[in-house]
Amino acid sequence: MTIAQIAEFAAETTGDISSEALDFAKRAIRLKYATLYDAHNWRESMRLLDGVQLDPAMNGIFFLPYDAEEVVFCSLSYDGQSYIRLNYRERDWIERFTYPSYNLPGNTPWFYRAENLAWPYLAPGKFTFTTANATPFNVYIAGLDAGGNKISESFIMQGNAAGGGLYTPASVTTVGSYNTVTVLSAQASDLALTIAAGGKTLVMPPAMTELVFTQIVLQPPPIGTAPGGGPLQNWVRIQVKLKPDSLDNDMSVPRLSHIWDALVCFTTASLWKRLSQLTKANSEEQMAMEHVKAAIQVEKNQSEFFQQAVPATYEYGDYIRGWWWNRSTSWNPFGM
């Protein structure tokens, strides 16, 4: 169901089909959807990336091509086939309690989430933007230079008029050289924006207004030497919960299909409140909560949610240490 369909159904239910009521309903849908999205780790909110090959030059850093709300799990492989699950640790914890870890081939690192960036490569240098769009639009870039100083630039992009209503690609290059890019945004345009820096090229589709990449760091970085020489290749399998879909268009379809019924009831309740029909609004909200509970129960009834006892050895992924390891003591309060 689209945003427009949910709003129209709810408005027809209350009898107020004015344009003001429809606009109010669409705002209510977007607000309530974001709330419901964050209330549970819905299966449809998850995305799995399998077989992501790490670049040895990135020193254990890799980027996901979207802004993730949270990381569900991250697994590492040294052969691209067999994976071992990694433990999440905050960066300050790793810095304080990393004394028993050695950066040796075969050691299992921890992982943590670092700052979101707008460019998935380090030290890209100067950027070149190219477009053949007929109408002008703004582009903004901000970040840090090699000295750690904040720099930013903005441009007005437009293609070169070639006559006959045709436009050829036009390019603009930044003045500053960027070591890290924290913001890269553009106004909506009719044609894609091509962005090149440091020998890498990305294309921003017309509907996209910003670039955001989730940064994941493995610490200590996995190292090793391949049989033929050179660095050992590593692969990652990672699952994340995506940020709520923006629903910026009336024809947008909410990603979470299990809560459509709840959205209809919550929207109807909001419209009843707008009409000061509080009794009807409370009744609709109660029905909406029942739909939410039913949707959560459907997911919990799936096989992957059954209760089971997991041996601690599986969680740590270490079958060599004896029983005395990973136990809290006076000299080892964290059970490392």
Provide the residue-wise pLDDT of the chain in tens; the chain has 336 residues.
899 999 999 999 999 999 999 999 999 999 999 999 988 888 899 999 998 899 888 888 999 988 898 999 999 988 888 899 999 988 888 887 765 555 555 568 899 999 999 999 989 999 999 999 999 999 999 999 999 999 999 999 999 998 888 999 999 999 999 999 999 999 989 999 999 999 999 999 988 889 999 999 998 888 766 667 777 788 999 999 999 988 888 999 999 988 999 999 999 999 999 999 999 999 999 999 999 999 888 887 765 555 555 555 555 554 444 444 555 444 454 555
Structural domain includes residue 333: no
Structural domain includes residue 136: yes
One domain for residues 238 and 181: no
Structural domain includes residue 74: yes
Do 252 and 3 touch, CB atoms closer than 8 A?
yes
Q: Where are the beta strands (DSSP E) in the chain?
A: 46-53, 61-64, 68-77, 83-85, 110-113, 127-131, 137-144, 150-157, 160-163, 166-168, 170-173, 180-186, 193-197, 200-204, 214-219, 235-242
One domain for residues 158 and 205: yes
Using alpha carbons only, what angle is made at residue 218 by residues 85 and 123, rounded to the nearest 5 degrees? 145
Structural domain includes residue 314: no
pTM: 0.77
pLDDT at 98: 65
One domain for residues 53 and 31: no
Structural domain includes residue 171: yes
Structural domain includes residue 321: no
Number of other CB atoms surrounding residue 336 within 10 Å: 13
Structural domain includes residue 298: yes
Structural domain includes residue 178: yes
One domain for residues 193 and 226: no
What domain range is 266 assigned to?
3-41+256-303
pLDDT at 27: 94
Q: How many domains does the chain have?
A: 3
Bridge partners (DSSP) of residue 152 are: 142
